[in-house]
Amino acid sequence: RKEVEQDPGPFNVPEGATVAFNCTYSNSASQSFFWYRQDCRKEPKLLMSVYSSGNEDGRFTAQLNRASQYISLLIRDSKLSDSATYLCVVRRNEKLTFGTGTRLTIIP
Amino acid sequence: GAGVSQSPRYKVAKRGQDVALRCDPISGHVSLFWYQQALGQGPEFLTYFQNEAQLDKSGLPSDRFFAERPEGSVSTLKIQRTQQEDSAVYLCASRYQETQYFGPGTRLLVL
């Protein structure tokens, strides 16, 4: 079983729709949680950190449930520029562990 | 300011050839990481440096892989006797606080 599991998609979503991604992690000793975004043939870039209290950055909302070891990302009013692969990431000590990523395509 | 840079951006190697991949981290970043990303997968941790000290090399897939950072800035990942399964994108990242900043990667193809 992979340490971080995500649905690889692809998710094909019309512009303006709301889309939600989920991720589970297996190591309860994981300390920090993130969503990274990776455009095709580019490097991953931090989208947002994820906290148990939930956090929002514009159209993006992330949530962590430590008891269920579950992380989510919600994108509202999706834009064409949101098309990318979204990577769920957990940190334990210095090491980041990435999920396989969920590919999102926003359709005009 | 300048981000993490990596060279070469692309490398084609014949099976059995040795390769060296370079990473220039963001100036002043103490922590440096190497990852391997296979097609359709997320990056997989290879190794971690704090300054010149290699503190974790648990992700290196075999003893053909070797990394160094002798002066605590530039790092080199060396792969000896490359095999076809080594074909991947090799990403370097440096860290400030909780955020890792990735370079553009070196795309290695072993024929």
Whether B47 and B67 have beta carbons less than 8 Å apart is answered as yes
Does position B24 have pLDDT exceeding 70, yes or no? yes
Does position B108 have pLDDT exceeding 80, yes or no? yes
Judging contacts by C-beta atoms under 8 Å, the chain A residues touching residue B91 are 43-44
Q: What is the mean pLDDT of residues B29-47?
A: 96
Per-residue pLDDT tens listing for chain A (108 residues): 789 999 988 999 999 999 999 999 999 999 999 999 999 999 999 999 999 888 999 999 999 999 999 999 999 999 999 999 999 999 998 899 999 999 999 999
Q: What is the mean pLDDT of residues B72-77?
A: 96
Is the CB of residue A23 less than 8 Å away from at least one CB of chain B?
A: no
Of A44, A91, A94, the CB nearest to B43: A44
Whether A89 and A96 have beta carbons less than 8 Å apart is answered as yes
Judging contacts by C-beta atoms under 8 Å, the chain A residues touching residue B6 are none
pLDDT band for position B1 (50/70/90)? low
CA distance A68 to chain B (A): 22
The H or E element spanning position B86 is: none
Kindly report the average pLDDT of chain B as a whole number: 96
